[in-house]
Amino acid sequence: MVSSQQPGRPRVEPCPDKPGTFRWHIRLEDGSVVHAPYAFTTRGGAELSADLWLKQLSAAA
């Protein structure tokens, strides 16, 4: 599911383990994937978290 994702773009999807919640994934330029550490109750919350993680990952690079 995450394999078609463009590098550096967060992807928010329904969490398969906790129905009604969402998780994000960020594919990095090297092909590795960073996953949300936990599920979020709203898609908006997951998107906000993904954006913050992406900023931190970009700053560390």
**Per-chain mean pLDDT for the chain:** 88
- Specify the pLDDT at position 5: 56
Q: What is the mean pLDDT of residues 30-43?
A: 94
- pLDDT reading at 18 higher than 60: yes
Q: What is the mean pLDDT of residues 43-50?
A: 97
* Residue 3: partners with Cβ closer than 8 Å, 6 or more residues away: none
Highest mean pLDDT among 3-7, 31-35, 38-42: 38-42
Q: What is the pLDDT of residue 1?
A: 47
Tell me, what amino acid is at 44? G
